[in-house]
Amino acid sequence: MFWSTTLPALRELLPSPGRLTIDLGCGEGRSSRALQELGHHVIGVEAAPTLARAAATHPAPVTVVRADAAALPLVDGCADLIAASMVFQNVDDLPGAFAECARVLRPGGHLVGVIVHPFRQVSVVDGQYLRTQPFVYPARRNGLTMTFTDHHRPISAYLNGLAQAGFVLEQLAEVGEPDGGLPMLLGWRCRTGSPNP
């Protein structure tokens, strides 16, 4: 799904490369490497040590800082762009993460996010779309069983959180299934609330 759906959705929202792009929640580095191919100078941020190590030791390594999204060890105004692919539904402290993104972006810098569309999670939260709540689900891949904890939030929680952190929405995108069913992804591009760069 990353290569066929998530990455194209992210690319559609990206501004032109600047001096520094942060790949927030970079995982094993595939988004970072895709951003580098588009001309971005990338630093990855990843909380999970195994994933950070995988990104840093890949044959096409990524510079990675280990950190939580709500406590970035980066100086104020250091980045032009923060790209977050499938990250914000995993974040415990969403207001803290948005505030940190606003802090490390330069005036007029952009935050681009792509998440699983909240409508897709309604069945796992007993139809309680408007209620913010965590949920746990197992996944099996390549013979491994993993347990994930995500947070269901309605779209308003994301948009209001961005506004409270001082972001101005520039674009909102919903990516649907090929057959026109429920939307699969929700994406946005916003900028820090300063005048246009």
> For the segment 138-196, what is each residue's pLDDT rounded down to a tens digit?
888 888 888 888 999 999 999 999 999 999 999 999 998 877 778 899 999 999 975 44
> For the segment 118-129, what is each residue's pLDDT rounded down to a tens digit?
988 887 778 889
User: Which residues, 6+ apart, have CB-to-CB distance to 190 below 8 Å?
Assistant: 110, 111, 162, 167, 168, 169, 170
Residues in the chain: 197
Residue of higher predicted confidence among 35 and 147 = 35
The answer to whether residue 9 is domain-embedded is yes
Asked if residue 197 has pLDDT above 70, the reply is no
145: left (phi over 0), alpha (psi -120 to 50) or beta: beta
**Domains contained in the chain, number:** 1
Can you tell me the mean pLDDT for 21-31? 97
Domain range holding 75?
2-117+154-192
> For the segment 44-98, what is each residue's pLDDT rounded down to a tens digit?
999 999 999 999 999 999 999 999 999 999 999 999 999 999 999 999 999 999 9
The answer to whether residue 128 is domain-embedded is no
pLDDT of the residue at 195: 45
pLDDT of the residue at 177: 80
The answer to whether residue 126 is domain-embedded is no
Percent of the chain residues past pLDDT 70, beyond the cut: 98
pLDDT of the residue at 196: 47
Tell me, letter by letter, the H, E, C secondary structure of 116-134.
ECHHHHHHHHCCCCCCCEE
The answer to whether residue 109 is domain-embedded is yes
The answer to whether residue 58 is domain-embedded is yes
pLDDT of the residue at 194: 54
For residue 64, what is the domain's CATH number? Answer: 3.40.50.150
Query: CA Rg, the chain, in Å?
Result: 16
- What's the pTM? 0.93
Ordered DSSP codes for 40-100: --EEEEES-HHHHHHHHHSSS---EEE--TTS--S-TT-EEEEEEES-TTT-S-HHHHHHH
Classified as helix, coil or strand, 111 is strand
The answer to whether residue 124 is domain-embedded is no
For tokens 């250091």, name the residue: 78
Burial status of residue 187 (CB atoms within 10 A of its CB: 0-12, 13-18, 19 or more): buried
Q: Given pLDDT bands bounded at 50, 70 and 90, which one contains residue 109?
A: very high
